[in-house]
Amino acid sequence: MPSILEDFARGNMLTKPPLDPNSELADTIEFASNLKKELLDRLSGEDKALFEKIINANLEIIELTAVENRIHGYRQGFIMTAETFITWQGL
């Protein structure tokens, strides 16, 4: 069962802003997509299937890494908030 932090990190508890079509990220996504299409056009059969598996595995790695990094960031933020309240109470 996912934790609240994991649900939040995966975006299940908030709405995501739309991708700005004029951003560097949008340009990079389009560039990568064009490269992938070009390579898939050159491949056939088992090579094409293997390449798709590699792409999917890399996407899973990226998603899992992002979730772990967000959870770590939330925990760090909580620790900083707790320290702020502890030191503020001691004034």
pLDDT value, residue 16: 66
Query: What DSSP string runs through 43-65?
Result: --HHHHHHHHHHHHHHHHHHHHH
Residue 15 clears pLDDT 80, i.e. is over it: no
Distance of alpha carbon 15 from alpha carbon 34, whole angstroms: 28
- In this predicted model, what pLDDT tens digit does every residue of 20-62 receive, in sequence order? 999 999 999 999 999 999 999 999 999 999 999 999 999 999 9
Structure letter (DSSP) for residue 1? -
pTM for the full predicted model? 0.65
